[in-house]
Amino acid sequence: MNIIILAGGEGKRMGGVNKAAVEVDGRSLLNILLSRLDPKDQIVVVSPAKIPGVRTVCEDPPLGGPVAGIAAGFDAFGTSDEFTAVLAVDAPYSAEMLPALSLDIGEADVAVTLSQDGWVQPLCALWRTQSLKLALDSMGETRNRPAKALLKQVTHIIEVKGNGSEKDYDTVAELQSLGEVSLPDAD
């Protein structure tokens, strides 16, 4: 499958740092997430920062929001793979949801995680690649559009109950529940 990891954004709630480089117990959030993915999958990271050793792209201009990032990541792949996963770097354990999403997608356009707190997590989702292409095409302008807007472009959505691995960590205090946090220098 194709996997798009969104690692852009301004990281305002973490002090304006590159979230992909934030470390927990000496490992970056990006490396934690990458270690949980199948290396046979096609992976692209969407970030304005070039990340050594990882295929990286960025929407143009940078900081265009999640849908613009998803579109940039999508454009980095062909449409030959049947599925495309969308994950976020600030949810470093979210890859653990991919087997459940794969199992439950059936004939749906997208299987999206319903977090344990009841929120739909569009940045922890598995799309049929053709359905994601149609959703992106039907949006027109992708800049500054929320990820949930993509879900409104399709009719057959499966919600898969999360197991906690989908949790995103928006602040240093939240990340400290995972271990010792080290922040990179602010950009």
Percent of the chain clearing pLDDT 90 (strictly above): 81
Mean pLDDT of 147-161: 97
Domains and CATH numbers, the chain: 2-177 (3.90.550.10)
40, with CB counted inside 10 A (0-12, 13-18, 19+), is exposed
pLDDT beyond 60 at 160 = yes
In the prediction, which pLDDT does 52 show? 87
pLDDT beyond 80 at 98 = yes
Find the radius of gyration of the CA atoms of the chain.
15
31-51 residue pLDDT tens: 999 999 998 999 999 999 888
For the ranges 11-20, 48-57, 175-184, the lowest mean pLDDT is seen at 11-20
* Pairwise CA distance, residues 68 & 86, whole Å: 13
53-79 residue pLDDT tens: 899 999 999 889 999 999 999 999 878
For the ranges 4-13, 44-53, 130-139, 143-152, the lowest mean pLDDT is seen at 4-13
Provide the whole-model pTM.
0.95
In the prediction, which pLDDT does 186 show? 61
